[in-house]
Every structure is written in C-alpha cells, then in structure tokens.
Amino acid sequence: MRDRMGEAAVALAAAVIGLGVLPARARAEDQVVYINSSGGVLDDVNRKIHWDPFTQATGIKVVSSAPVDNAKLKAMVTNGNVEWDITEIDGGDFPRAVKEGLLAKLDRSKLPVDQLPKDALTDYGIWDGPYSAILTWNTEVFPLSGKHPTSLMDLWNQKDFPGPRCLWKGAVDNLELGALHAGVARDKVYPIDQDKAYQELDKIKKDVSVWWTTGAQSVQAVVNKDCVMGTTWNGRPYQLVVKDKAPLGVAWEGAILRSSWWVVPKGAKHFDNAMKLIAWMQDPQRQAEQAKLSGYAGGNNGTAALLPESVREYLATSPNHLAVSVIADDEWWAGNGPAAEKRFTSWVIAN
C-alpha cells in the first residue's frame, strides 16, 4: 500500500510539473513567425532593418526561407500543412492566389491604414517592395547641366536625344509605355489597347540596341553606352550612383509602378505574430533606413519625408513620383499576361 501511495505521489508530482512545463513549451513554440521571400540582398536588408529588431523588441523569432514558390504555397494550403506565416508573392500571381482561396484576410485593425496609399493595401495583401520602371540615361551624353530627358516618352524623342535605346525584353512595362505614348491618360491605361500600344512600339523598335533581361544589364548597358537611354528599375541606378558615382540620370514622368506583396497563407499557424511583423515593417523610420541601403522601401506615405533628396530622387513611393506614375493593374496582367507575353515575343523577333 505504501509503495502504491509512493507511486501515486510520484505520478501526481510529475503531472503537476508537466502542467507547468507544457504551457511554457507551447509559449516558446508560439514565439516565432515563419516568413518566405525572394532571398538575396533584399533579405539581408530586411534582416538588419526589420526582422532582427522585431525579435529584440517582441521576443518573436523570425525564421526566413527562400525563394518564393507559388506551387508550394498552393500545395501547403490545399493539404492543410502550412509552413509559412507570411510569404511574398509577385503582383501577377497575387490576384490569382486570392481567387484560388489560398490567402487569409489581413487584420486591418493592426495596420496603419491611414499612412498607406490606397493601392498599397487590400483585404489579402500589403505592398512589400514597390518598384518602378523608370527612364535612365547617360549623363556624359546628356549632362544634367544641359538639355536632358525628363520623361519616359523621351524614348521616342530622337530629335532632341539621338541614339540607341535599351528596353526590357517583355510585354510588361512596354505595353503601358506604348499606350501612354499613344495619348492614353495614366488612369485609363487599363484595359490596355494592345493594338494601339504596338503602333507606338513599332516606331521605336528600330532604335532598340539592347533588349535587357536583368536589372544589372539595364543600367550597365547605359553606363557602357551600348545605348544612351533606356528603362530600368529604380533601385538599379541608385545603387550604381551611390556606390560607383556612375553617370546616370533618372526621369519619372510616365513611370510604371509595380509591387510584390506580403500575404498570409490561409491556415497559417502564427497569424497574430504574422500581423505583428507585417505591421512592424510599415514603420516609416525603418522603411527610410531600408531605402538608404537598397533604394527600395514599403509604401508608408511618411517614409520619403525622412530621407535626404539624394535618396528620395530614386524612391518609387515618393509622393511626387507616385503622382506621375501608372500603378500597374495586377488583375489585368493576371488575366492577360501569358497571351500578351507570347505576342510580344513574336513581335520582337519579327522583321
């Protein structure tokens, strides 16, 4: 009997200890958020500016993975085994993921809605890395002190700015630019009248010496004078000018703004932590530090005011840049992108 009582006491003590240990272990497991992104240098910037300080402030560990994988996102949600709490998703894939029911609704009450452009937030996503296709040119050819390009429409202006051009080898951006040059207003670009856009692109095709396929190529071709001007993504000239004092000027009139999005997969295991981290990344001061390092930042309206002019000049979300930019319509590209790209590829190789 005494032995049995001793065994019962030991069992009871273990149970009591267990009751204390298990919640503590669960709490430790809950102090994490899993984020999936494109990886690379921008992840290094996010780690330094956003993620590690978030952990220091909240105790919530940020575990990152890469690259973005839409097929994996769909498989995880479909199978009910969601590994990510947040994932980056490209603009063209974002509306498709919404329609397929792969994403959870964001908790807007946790976000600084009044500090964001109206296009930067939907029920299911928030801008991650807004970026713009802008014009860059070689300032040794067209010095800043003299007459130089001021608009993407100057790609067609051989009279004032003669020389070869460099354009992205894809329908994206080029169709919008063709429509703008045809006289379509910025807020009327979509749905894109592709026939009208190609009538304008036909006029410039003979002047294109480089169809670039990487961001690095877009600016290096201009520095090397393979072309005197061309389109590029805004962070590329920023990085070359800041690091190497490269002879590059930029113009924003007619820029095309796109963004990847931060989203929460449906069934995410740490939804509250995900919302906390997403909200943390909207802080304008941290976004300003992010912009100084990369030339890219989130969408907070207050970010630009915290930056010197030398950085604001290259930031897609500076208010004066947003005012002259076309905001890409992800819905249109999700529905029309594959066919548009096929037509563009045929057009490029045709005589």
- Is there a single domain that holds both residue 141 and residue 228? yes
Amino acid in the structure at residue 108: R
The answer as to whether 174 is a domain residue is yes
Distance CA 110, CA 94 (A): 21
Q: Answer whether residue 17 shows pLDDT above 60.
A: no
Domain membership flag for residue 20: no
Residue 192 confidence (pLDDT) above 80: yes
Asked if pLDDT for residue 8 goes beyond 60, the answer is no
pLDDT per residue as tens digits for the range 243-295: 899 999 999 999 999 999 999 999 999 999 999 999 999 999 999 999 999 99
pLDDT at 191 over 70: yes
Residues 110 and 135 in one domain: no
What pLDDT shows up at residue 12? 37
Going by the DSSP 8-state scheme, the letter that residue 50 receives in this structure is: I
- What percent of the chain has a predicted confidence (pLDDT) above 90? 88
Same domain, 297 and 325: no
pLDDT at position 243:
84
pLDDT value at residue 41: 86
Which 3 state secondary structure label does DSSP give 8?
A: helix
> Are 92 and 159 within one domain?
no
Taking CA atoms, 258 is separated from 8, 215, 298, in Å, by: 66, 15, 12
> Domain check: are 239 and 207 in the same one?
yes
Is 308 part of any domain?
A: no
In this structure, are 330 and 183 located in the same domain?
Answer: yes
Q: Say yes or no: 205 and 160 in one domain.
A: yes
Asked, for residue 3, whether it belongs to a domain, the answer is: no
Please give the residue range of the domain that contains residue 99.
Answer: 31-129+262-301
Is residue 18 domain-resident? no
Flag whether pLDDT at 70 surpasses 60.
yes
Q: Any idea which of 13-17, 43-47, 80-84, 295-299 has the lowest mean pLDDT?
A: 13-17
Same domain (yes/no): 202, 341: yes
Q: Domain with 121 in it: what CATH number? A: 3.40.190.10
Same domain, 269 and 327: no
Same domain, 223 and 160: yes
* 63 close to 35: Cβ distance less than 8 angstroms: yes
Kindly report, residue by residue over 115-173, the tens digit of the pLDDT.
999 999 999 999 998 999 999 999 999 999 999 999 999 999 999 999 999 999 999 99
DSSP-assigned states of every residue in 139-154: TTTS-TTSS---BGGG
166 contacts: CB under 8 Å, gap ≥ 6: 208, 209, 210, 211, 212, 218, 221, 222, 226, 227, 229, 230, 231
161 part of a folded domain: yes
Structural contact between residues 218 and 198, judged by C-beta atoms closer than 8 angstroms: no
C-alpha distances in angstroms, 204 versus 185, 223, 253, 344?
Answer: 20, 21, 18, 14
Confidence of residue 27 (pLDDT cuts 50, 70, 90): low
Predicted pLDDT at 252: 98
Which stretches does DSSP call E strand in the chain?
32-36, 61-65, 86-89, 126-127, 131-138, 165-168, 208-212, 229-233, 248-258, 261-263, 325-327
Q: What is the pLDDT of residue 129?
A: 87
Q: Are residues 200 and 269 in the same domain?
A: no
Work out whether strand 32-36 and strand 61-65 pair parallel, antiparallel, or are unpaired: parallel
What is the residue-averaged pLDDT of the chain?
A: 92
78 with 241: CB under 8 angstroms? no
Q: Work out how many domains the chain is built from and give that number.
A: 2
Q: Cα(241)–Cα(13) distance, rounded to whole angstroms?
A: 68
204 is a domain residue: yes
Residue in the structure block whose two tokens are 């909200």: 279
> Does residue 281 lie in a domain region?
yes
Candidates 284, 252, 263; CA nearest to 114 is 284
List the 261-263 sheet strands across, edge first.
Answer: 61-65, 32-36, 86-89, 261-263, 126-127
Say whether both 228 and 109 belong to one domain.
no
Question: Degrees (nearest 5) of the Cα angle 54, 60, 64?
Answer: 80
